[in-house]
Amino acid sequence: MRLEPIAQPSLARRLVPPALALLGAFLVASVLALIAGGNPLAVFGAIVKGAVGSKFALLETLNRATPLIFTGLAVAVAFRAKLWNIGAEAQLYAGAVVTAVLGTGVLPWPPALLLPAIALTAMLAGALLLLVPALLKTRLGVDEVVTTLLLNYIFLLFVSYLLEGPLKDPMGMGWPKSARLIAEARLPRIVEGLRLHWGFALALLSAVALWIVNARTTLGFEMRAVGQNAEAARFAGMPVTGVVLKTALLSGGLAALAGFSEVSGLKGSLTLDLSPGYGYTGIVVAMLALLHPLGVVAAALFVAAIFVGADAMSRALGVPSYIADIMLASALLMMVLAILLTKFRVVRD
Amino acid sequence: MDIFEILTSAAFWAAAIRIASPLIFATMGELICERAGVLNLGIEGIMVAGAFAGWIAVYMGLPLWGGVAVAFATGMMLGALHGLLSVPFGLSQHVVGIGLTLLATSLTFYTYRVVLPEVSSPPKITAFQPYPIPGLSEIPGLGSAFFTQTPLTYAAFALVALVAFVLYRTPLGLAVRAAGESPAAVAAQGLSVTAIRMGAVIVGSGFMAVGGAFLTLSAFDSFFFDMVNGRGWICIALVVFGAWKPGKAMLGAILFAAFDALQIRLQQTPIGALVPYQLFLMMPYLLSILALVLMSRRAEVPAALMVPFNKGER
């Protein structure tokens, strides 16, 4: 077989494969639910009900989507420039560490000053963390996939050290957790009484901001050009190395905001289980969104709904909640194939 | 105990060889894939799946070598999926690999929960036992370190010889290397680049899974969720460190394992106890990055690595 580009893909050509990919992911999950002794319809029903079936469930989904929007944006902006940042997990924790350090009383500032200061410092930490692999890539040609992956392990061990050493809460009953943030360092709730904090709004704002950067600025144009063809971009006189480094700073900063938002908005302190792999799930989110910033919001909501729903389903029906991870991973693989098939047709030799 | 004493003890080198074994299996697997032109980032997930598949097969009653075979077959199936998406369809090997790792890991955890719903700690199996090779293991000094290992460790070293022989001494190996250097030349010879690359990814993934199974069937006797713990990514660094050559990659794995065995022992020394243990645990990952940086100037990377081949496209 070989692939042949389609000059003018029809509407059906552009819509059917992605739809089939999502359907395929549900099919995979159905078979697995059957194997675990669950009725697929009951399983999906319980997932939907658990994700959006009540005010509590809906708020939980929005809360879960918040860090995923940030990490999804971080991955999307990097992948668009073909900078393979798989280290959003570490960058998230970098933001979280900064929040736990600066938010516990060292800066006696009012919230209006303190929160932006923490957020910007968190972004800086995440940005610098990705700058290292980006520099290794541009200077020495070291593949950033492996270095960012390895940095995830290194940074998590560093956080573990901090939580058992310098950052350990003396009131924590021996648990490795940081001291609670002061009230001034907490992101307030959007509506009093509803368990949803301003981190969610910040995530939406970041998505719109990135969309504007992508669509309306020189940097956005350069990032896409470098991603599509670095050689051509270089030939056209673009500072390719500089663009890659700027992309890295942007991506690392966005991922760090996930850590800031989780600690400041949701948890109030730093623990080693702050993120159940939000950095990695961000890859799925970004790919499902076709790397579009606004698509990231939709994909993050979808992914969060599946995770929150699967947790509730698992408690009710006993089918392991890992079914959500399988569904998303298979959706990712089938979606990249589907996108290819919207532009190419398979020809038999 | 000082460093010199540690480095000259047979127990230390025995541990280093044991730690190196799973890395050698998986590194050989990755090396085969990359020599054919495919970066397989599914390695981490394939190792997790292999560790579980081999262990659960033995737990269900298969003999130990049966467990190894089940792990190998599991790896081949996952490799076939990677190959299908990345070779004929030519999809981004980065995305396919990470996706496969996510898929294989979550499938493994799901299966674990379905098969063993009510266990708080995973059951144990009777793992491979050390098999001293008569004569060789009695050589004073390093004899007992190298030749009092489990059969699966001997298999790991045999695999290095096999991979080196096939790659450099057979027409098949030439075809695999050519597919990674100059696929157009392979196609011009009337061979199918797709078939060669698919085969390499499938077989290589099988060996990655056996590397995972080494952990559950030989190094330990049970399966834990965070067992593989980034070893797959380390193996990718080892392939680069070994300049895509089986023998060098094996030496890299042993060197690396020696550092790992050393850090475990240094933790228990009076000075080591003063250093946070996390710093010791970081060493393997830091060393991997260091290895990548040191080797970066020596460009011996297969020319067509990560370059999809679409016949008829020029």
Specify if B304 maps to a domain: no
A337 vs B234: CB contact, 8 Å cut-off? no
Q: How many domains does chain B have?
A: 1
Q: How many domains does chain A have?
A: 1
Report the C-alpha gap between A227 and A217 in whole angstroms.
16
B102 vs A142: CB contact, 8 Å cut-off? no
pLDDT of residue B311: 64
- Identify the residue among B102, B290, B301 best suited for mutation to test binding to A, counting A beta carbons within 10 A and taking the highest: B102
Specify if B290 maps to a domain: yes
A150 vs B293: CB contact, 8 Å cut-off? no
How many angstroms separate the CA of residue A111 from the nearest CA in chain B? Answer: 34
How many angstroms separate the CA of residue A113 from the nearest CA in chain B? Answer: 35
Specify if B98 maps to a domain: yes
Q: Which residues of A touch B113 (CB under 8 A)?
A: 320, 322
- Report in angstroms the alpha-carbon separations of A148 from A160, B47, B82: 18, 20, 22
The answer to whether the Cα torsion of A69, A75, A76, A77 is positive or negative is positive
Specify if B311 maps to a domain: no
Specify if B76 maps to a domain: yes
B110 vs A323: CB contact, 8 Å cut-off? yes
Specify if B306 maps to a domain: no
Kindly report, residue by residue over B181-207, the tens digit of the pLDDT: 999 999 999 999 999 999 999 999 999
Share of chain B above pLDDT 90, in %: 70
> What is the average pLDDT across B295-301?
75
Q: Which residues of B touch A154 (CB under 8 A)?
A: 282, 285-286
Q: Of all helices (H) and strands (E), which one includes residue B45? A: helix B43-59
A330 vs B312: CB contact, 8 Å cut-off? no
Is 60 exceeded by the pLDDT of residue A179? yes
pLDDT of residue B314: 43
B106 vs A322: CB contact, 8 Å cut-off? yes
DSSP string, B89-120: S---HHHHHHHHHHHHHHHHHHHHHHHSTT-S
Q: Show the tokens assigned to A16.
A: 């059917």
Residue type, A85: N
- Indicate the pLDDT class of residue B299, thresholds 50, 70 and 90: low
Report the C-alpha gap between A312 and A314 in whole angstroms.
5
Chain B residue with minimum CA distance to A325: B106
Please name the residues in contact with A220: beta carbons below 8 A apart, sequence gap of 6 or more.
Answer: A213, A214
Specify if A199 maps to a domain: yes
How many angstroms separate the CA of residue B286 from the nearest CA in chain A? Answer: 7
Specify if A304 maps to a domain: no
B95 vs A332: CB contact, 8 Å cut-off? yes
How many angstroms separate the CA of residue A228 from the nearest CA in chain B? Answer: 13
- Indicate the pLDDT class of residue B296, thresholds 50, 70 and 90: confident
Specify if A265 maps to a domain: yes
The answer to whether the Cα torsion of A180, A182, A187, A188 is positive or negative is positive
Is 80 exceeded by the pLDDT of residue A174? no
Specify if A298 maps to a domain: no
Is 50 exceeded by the pLDDT of residue A95? yes
Domain limits at A186?
66-289
Pairs of residues, one from chain A and one from chain B, whose beta carbons lie less than 8 Å apart? 128
Specify if B78 maps to a domain: yes
How many angstroms separate the CA of residue B46 from the nearest CA in chain A? Answer: 14
Q: Is A183 exposed, middle or buried (0-12, 13-18, 19+ CB in 10 A)?
A: exposed
- Indicate the pLDDT class of residue A201, thresholds 50, 70 and 90: very high
Report the C-alpha gap between A15 and A17 in whole angstroms.
6
Q: Name which of A72-86, A111-125, B117-131 the model is least confident about.
A: B117-131
Question: In terms of pLDDT, which residue wins out, B271 or A331?
Answer: A331
Specify if A308 maps to a domain: no
> What is the average pLDDT across B128-140?
84
Specify if A5 maps to a domain: no
Residues 185-214 of B with CB under 8 A from A: none
Is 60 exceeded by the pLDDT of residue B69? yes
Q: Which residues of A touch B240 (CB under 8 A)?
A: 143, 146
> What is the average pLDDT across A221-239?
90
Is 70 exceeded by the pLDDT of residue B147? yes
φ, ψ at B277 (rounded to 5°): -65, -25
CATH of the domain at B48: 1.10.3470.10
Kindly report, residue by residue over A325-348, the tens digit of the pLDDT: 999 999 999 999 999 999 998 887
pLDDT of residue B234: 93
A2 vs B311: CB contact, 8 Å cut-off? yes
pLDDT of residue A265: 94
Closest partner CB to B99 (pick from A84, A143, A333): A333
Specify if A39 maps to a domain: no
Report the C-alpha gap between B87 and B186 in whole angstroms.
15
Q: Which of A227-231, A313-317, B139-143, B293-297 has the highest mean pLDDT?
A: A313-317
Specify if B132 maps to a domain: no
How many angstroms separate the CA of residue B112 from the nearest CA in chain A? Answer: 9
Q: Show the tokens assigned to B221.
A: 């006797």
pLDDT of residue B312: 58
Share of chain B above pLDDT 70, in %: 98
Chain B residue with minimum CA distance to A28: B107
- Report in angstroms the alpha-carbon separations of B236 from A281, A346, B24, B32, B288: 22, 32, 11, 12, 9
Q: Show the tokens assigned to A281.
A: 């799930």
Q: Which residues of B touch A142 (CB under 8 A)?
A: 292-293, 296
φ, ψ at A182 (rounded to 5°): -75, 160
- Residues A88/A76, Cβ–Cβ less than 8 Å: no
Domain limits at B226?
3-114+147-295
Q: Show the tokens assigned to A203.
A: 């995530």
According to DSSP, the β-strands at A2-5 and A344-347 are antiparallel
Q: Which residues of B touch A153 (CB under 8 A)?
A: 229-230, 233, 282, 285
> What is the average pLDDT across A36-54?
93
Specify if A140 maps to a domain: yes
Share of chain A above pLDDT 70, in %: 100
A2 vs B312: CB contact, 8 Å cut-off? yes
Q: Which residues of A touch B106 (CB under 8 A)?
A: 322, 325-326, 329
Burial B115-141 (b: 16+ CB within 10 A, else e): eeeeeeebeebebbeeeeeeeebeeee
